Amino acid sequence: MTLIVIKPKSKSEKNLLTRMLKKMNIDVQVVEEPIPNYETQEAMEDADNRIGTRVLDSKKLFDLLGI
């Protein structure tokens, strides 16, 4: 299963992304604290080290997923 860590800009974006990605069988972790926890920091470091992929907004995420 794919894991995506998101930091939504609004509550509506959070709801949209979590519902849509779960329907696609993608596990979603939402960053809600001002300072990311350990797991989130590791995921962000993986993206920086090209083990994962980092996108800055939902449009780029949708393009990446082919939506």
Fill in the amino acid letter for 53: T
pTM of the model: 0.48
CA 46 to CA 58: how far, in whole Å? 19
Please give the structure tokens belonging to residue 1: 């299963």
Look at residue 37 in the predicted model and tell me its pLDDT.
77
Residue 3 has pLDDT above 70, yes or no: no
The reported pLDDT for the residue numbered 55 is 75
Provide the token pair at 67. 């939506």
Could you count the other beta carbons within 10 Å of the beta carbon of residue 5?
A: 20
49-66 residue pLDDT tens: 777 677 777 777 778 778
What average pLDDT does this structure show over 12-20? 85
Cα(43)–Cα(38) distance, integer angstroms: 9
